[in-house]
Chain A
Amino acid sequence: MTGLPLHAPPLWRQVLPYVALLGLALLIYFVFPDQLPMAARIAALAIFVMSLDLVVGYGGLATLGHSAMYGVGAYAAGLLAMHLTGNPLLGLLAGACAGALLAFLSGLFLLRYEGLTFLMLTIAISQIAQNLASKLRTWTGGEDGLSGFAIGKILGLASFDLQGRVAFVYCFAAMFICLWLMRRLMASPFGLACVGIHQNRQRMAALGTRIRWQLLKLYTIAGAFAGISGALAAQVAQIVGLDTLGFELSAEALVMLVLGGAGNLWGALAGTVIFASIHHWASTLNPYHWLFIIGGMLVTVVLVPRERWGQALARRMQVFRRAAAPAGGSS
């Protein structure tokens, strides 16, 4: 379920997905340059959904308020660029710190609760943040959004161009690094402890794990990554709106996560790509049709869980093998 192997797979298998991802990026860059702006946005959003996976997939905490960390990260990066410096990497740092801080402070309160209560309280936090941002118009621009800040050259090399090339390289690199970091983290003893808590809290408590403290660390780390994602989005778009703190974003991220499969981070990436692509493509046909498609997909994914797809496939493979080796016999 969480995709953690009992024995470490051979090195080539560990590296293969990353290489494939790099290949995909090169493909988009050279063969589909028209899609670069869209691809940059997807890459930035993927970090957000992956950070949600840490909390939901690995930690087992269903949350609908994750956008709060994304939004404060976005505003932090925007405000930094507006008032202090347009250095993009510092902006990412600001975003990470803002997201982590909010996650830590809210986590102290939230993690006392479970289930529906926890879920509702996460919604409350993000709604409070959104309403506060709307009130503090002079800082955040309120309904009109925070704009008019310029982002400087990345590493002193290149500034954002209209074609979206630099934005894509920047976002993709960030996503690649974050993905690798998160996977390393969740394969470490810390990550395994979190999965353990998800699977059986009592057992972990009996082993001496300080449950709330572990979950708080996980939540804070996830908050940092969410903040990075928000900061990236803010820098690439050069504008931050109140929707970065909204409920819709949290709900959409959860849908993306589930569509792709929670618990191994690759699913989060896949889900983001699928959802964003469908949304974009279907919207150009008719702005409501994407709801039919995504709604239908969600309904199907739940009614026919992935295990069944896997089983159906395995059965087909068996039949195929039997057919290919009729004299051999059993498997």
Chain B
Amino acid sequence: MLANILIDGIAYGMVLFIIAVGLSVTLGLMRFVNLAHGAFAMTGGYLAAWLVGEQGWPFAWGLLAAVVLTGLLGMLLEALVLRRLYRRSELEQVLFTIGLTFLFVATANLLAGPEVQLIPLPGWLKTPVDLGIRTLPAQRLLVIAAGLAVLLLSAWVLGRSRFGIWLRATVDNTGTAAALGIPVQWVYALTFGVGAALAGLGGILGAELMPLEPYYPIKYLVLVLVVVAVGGMGSITGSAVAALALGTIETASKYLASDWGSLFFFLSMALFLAWRPQGLLVARRA
């Protein structure tokens, strides 16, 4: 039982993490409240469903293309529209991005109808893998592996690469960073794009757990926000820990107390936030 809870919980947590990490970074870096983030996850999923399902592309290529396209869409949106809102109040950002979300939802319905979109998995992902304690479809293992990859890669990029240095500098003090010759606008655009691309990846990988349908961005918005808030805005490891912890709690409650619904999830979230309002791993501000 425990093994089951852990495995399913980690898989679910990884999906939440992959989707949420982009929002956490944009929120922490640009202080921009983008509630349309779930729409990127949906876009990635829909694109993959279309490319792999209808156009018949092989799964890996379809996934790659969908993720890249979503990232480009994110960059485009940032450069054309969202950039103007950076100086606005939080409430205005919230409302604008909610409006944007509504537009995404309506467009998804217009283009693809109200049904759930399925991404056909290739045979090798559907085969059950016997771990000894439990058999689970290979797809879940892929999700866990992808989550780990994203975590490690982002930690490496932030810590070791030049872009990471630019990013951290821009977060700490945008003016000085720009004065030093760092292309701040590009850093913003690229970071936003990568966040959107990751959300798209999460949407594709999580399509089994969180079905793709037009209301997706609204339905799962709360979950993503919870992960970001509990993990701490801007903290990637924080998001990972929050996602895994909350994902496991939610899965455990499904196994042990399913008629309580998501109550324990939200209770835990409230307790985590009350204990650490700035985020799980973020040092308390004085």
Contacts and interface: CB of A to CB of B under 8 A. Distances in A.
Interface of A: 56, 62, 109, 112-113, 115-117, 120-121, 123-125, 127-128, 131-132, 134-135, 247-248, 251, 254-255, 258, 288-289, 291-292, 294-299, 301-303, 305
Contacts, number: 113
A120 B273 contact: yes
Given A135-B261, A288-B110, A299-B100, 14 more contacts: A113-B277, A116-B27, A123-B226, A124-B269, A125-B270, A131-B260, A258-B91, A288-B114, A291-B103, A292-B102, A295-B101, A295-B105, A302-B99, A303-B84
Contacts of B114: 288
B273 A121 contact: yes
Given A127-B266, A255-B98, A289-B106, A120 B226 contact: yes
A194 B99 CA distance: 29
A134 B260 CA distance: 8
B233 A116 contact: yes
A291 B267 CA distance: 32
Top 6 closest A-B pairs, CB basis? A298-B99, A295-B102, A131-B263, A291-B106, A295-B103, A302-B96
B121 interface: no
Contacts of B105: 288, 291, 295
Contacts of B262: 127, 131
Counting chain B CB atoms within 10 Å of each CB, the highest count among A56, A120, A294, A301 belongs to A120
> Per DSSP, are chain B's interface residues mostly helix, strand or loop, or mixed?
helix
A117 B103 contact: no
20 contacts: A116-B33, A117-B277, A120-B229, A121-B270, A121-B273, A123-B222, A124-B270, A128-B263, A128-B266, A255-B95, A288-B214, A291-B102, A295-B101, A295-B102, A297-B99, A299-B96, A299-B100, A302-B92, A302-B99, A303-B96
B109 interface: yes
B246 to A, nearest CB: 12
B273 A124 contact: yes
B94 interface: yes
